[in-house]
Every structure is written in structure tokens, then in C-alpha cells.
Amino acid sequence: MSDDLRTQILSLVNDYYNEHHRPQNSYTTGNRIPYAGRVFDQEDMINLVDASLDFWLTAGRYTEEFEESLARYVGVRFCSLVNSGSSANLIAFMALTSPKLGERAIRRGDEVITVAAGFPTTVSPIIQFGAVPVFVDVNIPQYNIDCSQLKAALSDRTKAVMIAHTLGNPFNIAEIRHFCDEHKLWLIEDNCDALGTDYEMEGQWGKTGSFGDIATSSFYPPHHITMGEGGAVYTKNGLLHKIIRSFRDWGRDCWCDPGVDNTCGRRFNGQYGELPCGYDHKYVYSHFGYNLKVTDMQAAVGCSQLKKLPSFVDARIKNWEYLYSRLIDCQDKVILPEPAANSKPSWFGFLITVKEGISRNELVRYLEEQGIQTRMLFAGNLLKHPCFDEMRQEGKGYRVIGNLEQTDQIMNNTFWIGVYPGMTVEMLDYMANKIKQYLNEYSGDVA
């Protein structure tokens, strides 16, 4: 009887979706065009309600399914769900501070190479722990780390490189991976904006997120797939996986799933630290950790979203290429983005950098007035933000290589618009036409 009732409830959810949420595949000129948004169907809503009927409010069966499926998709062995992409970056970095890593563990005062032209939570864990971020410049029009500066950034305190693939466009993985291997550095791939991107290295194609020692994803609504809030940390390394799980789950030494006891078979007969012999392993802590798990309801949405990811990636690529074709004749006025060599980006957005004589701020204001949502390339230059005021005044806590000239150009002249799967050709045409209209009116003729 209960199974019949569940089936009836889920059937009604399907009906509700069709009545209230099924998208109308038409665009009315003048309607606001968001830079990103959730794209979902009845399967996502059915999964959400199905998980809620279990009333298992923490991680459960859907979490396990998602972790296994995402690991398989990316091409890694292990995946751990967390409650956000920012938490994923926190866990990824903190895992590398574990004493279990011996001499390779990051300690306070050690250095981590990164960039200032990105999202702050790629850098925040480094600073909050007490390590030293070393900022290098980026390149335009790929908007990723300038690998020519890596040698200058290296010191005898360098332990890791932690950088993101910018808006789906991968950084030069081959060169970065070689650099890290040569100098025995950890590599954290912030893959939050690039899920589904393919990259070729040494004749083999793989997904971004499979090349680093640890990688991260975000499932906030604008991202490639969503579960509302959520993120993931993934790795091929069994020891790193165990450490990641420990930091995610309160810092505990035990690896039992929630509600499960004595997986190790020696719950009451181990010796840990200076605790009395036989102290309950479920309450032994090998790290100063957190509780950053998701609910199974979030994971349930992620499971159905992940099945749609290949079609989402195809749509993003198609939309990006269409915008590029519409704006290619504007290159005397703006710099258009270029994919990294040996890559097939799963684009998160379409970056535009205005050339001399064009005001980025005025163009953005014009587009917003026309109903086109825009975004900056996140922090632009993170070092210019109020969160760095104290560190900048004291002149310590970080290092900068060169003058970050391209980073400042991005801060002053770059913005982006959306290519998410909910875009229609009419929406893409409207955006391209308005950009051209502005360039025509304020900077000469553009066809």
C-alpha cells in the first residue's frame, strides 16, 4: 500500500511540473535575459520528493549514488559531496595540511601559487589557514594563469598550485602538471566553472578535474548542474580521499557512514593518540574538521541533473559558438575569448574585453538597461578588494609576481554574458544585436 501511495504522490509531482514549471520555449523581446539559471525537469522534482518521503535528512542513498556517478563521469576513483563549492575548496586545501602527508603537508608560512583574477574562495582557504598565496598574472583571451611566470613564483616554501579553470576554459594543464611533478607540488583544480570540459594531454583526452591531485565542483543554481546548494571534492588518491572525508565529517578518524557502526571491525580495541586504549573509534578525531555534508534531498536532485549534464554541455558549447559567430566581426572593438589549446571547453559564460576607446562600465550599464544580465570576471583583481586592506597596509601575508597587468585589464575592461542551456537563439540574437548596437553608436560602424 505504501509503495502505491508513493507512486501516486510522484505521479502528481509529474503533473504539477507540467502545469507549473514546464518551460515555454519562446522569448518575448524585452524580457530579462539572465546570465545563468537552473534548468530542470520533472525528473528532478520527482527525485526531490522521493528523497523527502524517505525523511532521511542527512546524506544517504542518493548521496552515495551521486558520488559514485560523478566520480565515474570525471574519471576519478573517489568523490565526496559537500554543501557548497566554497566548502569544496576549503576541504581540498585543508586536506593538504594533514599531518598524514608527512613532509609534503602544507604548513603555516608555506606558499601556494594562485591568481588574483578569479573567485575569492579559491584563495580564502590559503589565507585563513596561514599559508602564503603567491599571485601571478593571467593571459587574455584565455583568462587563465600565465605559465611563463611559474618559475619566478617558485620558492623553497612552495607546496602547491591552486587555480581555477576560468568560465569553463581550462588552464594549460599539461604545463602546470609538468611543473607540479617536477617540483613535487600538489595541484588543486578548482573545476567549479568547468564541469564537463575535455582536455588532451600526451595524446589522451580526459575531463578537467581528473588531472589534479584534488579537484572541486560547485552545484549552485547557475552552475553546469545544480542541487540548489552543494559541491564536491574528488581525487584519484586513496589517502587524500580518506583525509577529505575526515575533514568533511567533523575531523573524525572513523570512516563509518552515518548510522553505521564498526566498519573497521575494531571500534573498541584501537589505540589513538593519548586516549585510553579501546576508546570508541567513532569519537576519535585525527583533524580539526567540520560538518559540511549535504542532505539526501539535495543529492537526489544532483543525481537526475547529472544524467542531463552531457546535453547541458552540448547546449553551452552550441550557444557559445553561436555568440562567437555573431560577434566575430566586432574584433576591432572588443577582444573575444579563445579556447585553450587541446581543449573542448564546457563554457560557463562568454567573456568580452573592450578595447581602448570603449567604456566597459557604460556598455554594461547599457546592456543591463536593455534587460541583459551581465557579470564581471568575479573579483577582477582580488588584491584591490576591501578584504585585502589590512594585509596590503601591513605589506605581508602574500607575494605578487610582476605587476598583474592583465589582471588589472580584466578588472577594468572585462565582463561576461550567459550561454547556459536555458538560452534560445532569440535570446542569443538579442544579446548580440544589443552589443553591436552599442558599438555602432559609440565607436563607429560594426556590421
Nearest CA-CA partner of 87 in 219, 226, 208, 193:
219
386 prior amide bond cis, ω within 30: no
Cell of 153: 613564483
Q: Is 325 exposed, middle or buried (0-12, 13-18, 19+ CB in 10 A)?
A: exposed
- Please provide the DSSP assignment of 375-405 as one string: B-STTSSGGGSGGGHHHHHHT-S-EE-TT-H
Active site residue 223: yes
Total H helices, total E strands in the chain = 13, 14
Cell of 98: 594533514
Using CA atoms, how far residue 304 sits from 5, 20, 43, 46, 66, in Å, is 22, 19, 6, 9, 9
- Please provide the DSSP assignment of 47-91 as one string: HHHHHHHHT--SS-HHHHHHHHHHHHHHT-SEEEEES-HHHHHHH
Contact predicate 329/447, CB 8 Å: yes
What is the number of other CB atoms lying within 10 angstroms of the CB of residue 28? 7
Nearest CA-CA partner of 127 in 385, 412, 378:
385
What are the residues whose beta carbons fall under 8 Å from the beta carbon of 94, sequence distance 6 or more?
125, 129, 247, 287, 289
Contact predicate 208/181, CB 8 Å: no
Cell of 370: 536593455
| Residue 398, CB-side half-sphere exposure with 13 Å CA sphere | 25
What is the number of other CB atoms lying within 10 angstroms of the CB of residue 65? 16
Cell of 301: 536532485
Euclidean distance between the first and the last CA atom of the chain, given in angstroms as a whole number: 66
What are the residues whose beta carbons fall under 8 Å from the beta carbon of 116, sequence distance 6 or more?
123, 135, 379, 381, 382, 383, 400, 404, 407
Q: CA–CA separation, 436 vs 75, rounded Å?
A: 41
* Residue of 165, 223, 241, 287 marked active site: 223
What are the residues whose beta carbons fall under 8 Å from the beta carbon of 47, sequence distance 6 or more?
62, 300, 301, 303, 304
In degrees, rounded to 5, the angle at the alpha carbon of residue 346 between the alpha carbons of residues 149 and 409 is 40
Q: Which residues form the catalytic set? A: 223
